[in-house]
Amino acid sequence: MEYIKGITFGPFAGKGSFLRAEARESLDLLAERTGANFIMLVPGGLQDTPQSEHIDYTSQHFMEDDELSRMIDYIHGKGLSVGLKPTVNCRNGTWRAHISFFDWDVPCEPKWSVWFDAYTEFQMHYARLAQETGCEMFLPGCEMVMAERRETEWRRLIGDIRTVYRGPVSYNTDKYQEDRVTWWDCVDIISSSGYYPMDDWDRQLDRIERVAEKYGKPFFFAETGCMSTAGSSKVPNDWSVRGELALEEQADWYREMFRTAGNRAFVKGFCLWDWAWCQLSLQEAVRDEGYNIYGKPAEAVVREFYRSRPS
């Protein structure tokens, strides 16, 4: 497979966002400044709580299919590949990894069977769109840790997706979960969120490599990144970390990730989190303490690695 030099663009963008000139301008900046060859798009769905059975992805707050399709066409026009990763979240703020139900259906209680029907509808909608727009990869979800134990349902879902989408299918498990998913054989590419502490990359890569070898599948990090906040390099997955602006710490974290994971033959690429659909000005960007790399020292690290890496 082609080496993935990716960035997630405008995740969970609301209705109308991708139709605005600012979105195309931000995508232009990404293409010009980073050396990326792959863009991950993340349309969102919402359920009220982790135990809700209904998933909303069509109300007025969500981007419409037409604008998503137009953005995919615009990205393709730049010569970049597109991965589509529809992702559900909870309105009450609970992380989607905690979506869960009783393992056995119980009368009068929320049920896995009902939820998976809703989740399948959500994923199939975007799988059809991915096929229609020529997306180069489809990922039916992200970091659904508690749901991943439902092997039968995931196998059925991926089988359903393959009836409407002809490209490669992956799934984005969470950090530390790569060796816990039992159904990697039914996807084409294994992927995970690589938010690992700066001093722990080699140990985690050894563990993940054994998974890739066991299943004989290519692997890439479908999400990975670090905030430019002091202390974030120790817990890069924790977006709630607060501290002083630390631009060099973010850059150092990226250097270490590329030094370690970038030299492992089994790692077929990265998809960084994330690049805003409406980008900050350069003056604002260098004061931003979040994951954004635009205008920061980390951007130069990414550009150097991506441009030097053959596809």
Q: Where are the alpha helices (DSSP H) in 45-178?
A: 65-77, 112-133, 151-162
**pLDDT tens figures, 166-207:** 999 999 999 999 999 999 999 999 999 999 999 999 999 999
Q: In this predicted structure, what is the pLDDT of residue 270?
A: 98
Residue 111 to residues 20, 49, 86, 103, 114, Cα–Cα distance (Å): 40, 13, 22, 8, 5
How many domains does the structure of the chain reveal? 1
Q: Whole domain around residue 27: which residue ranges? A: 4-308
Q: In this predicted structure, what is the pLDDT of residue 254?
A: 98
Q: Is the peptide bond before 274 cis (omega within 30 degrees of 0)?
A: yes
CB within 8 Å of 120: residues ≥ 6 apart: 156, 157, 160
Q: In this predicted structure, what is the pLDDT of residue 144?
A: 98
Q: Using an 8 Å Cβ cutoff, are 269 and 39 in contact?
A: no
Q: Which stretches of the chain drop beneath a pLDDT of 70? A: none
Q: In this predicted structure, what is the pLDDT of residue 61?
A: 86
**Residue 302: CATH number of its domain:** 3.20.20.80
Cα separation, 226 vs 248, in Å, equals 11
**pLDDT tens figures, 101-126:** 999 989 989 999 999 999 999 999 99
Half-sphere exposure of 256 (CA within 13 A, CB side): 21
- Exposed, middle or buried by CB within 10 Å (0-12, 13-18, 19+), for 212? buried
Name the helix (H) or strand (E) containing 256.
Answer: helix 247-260
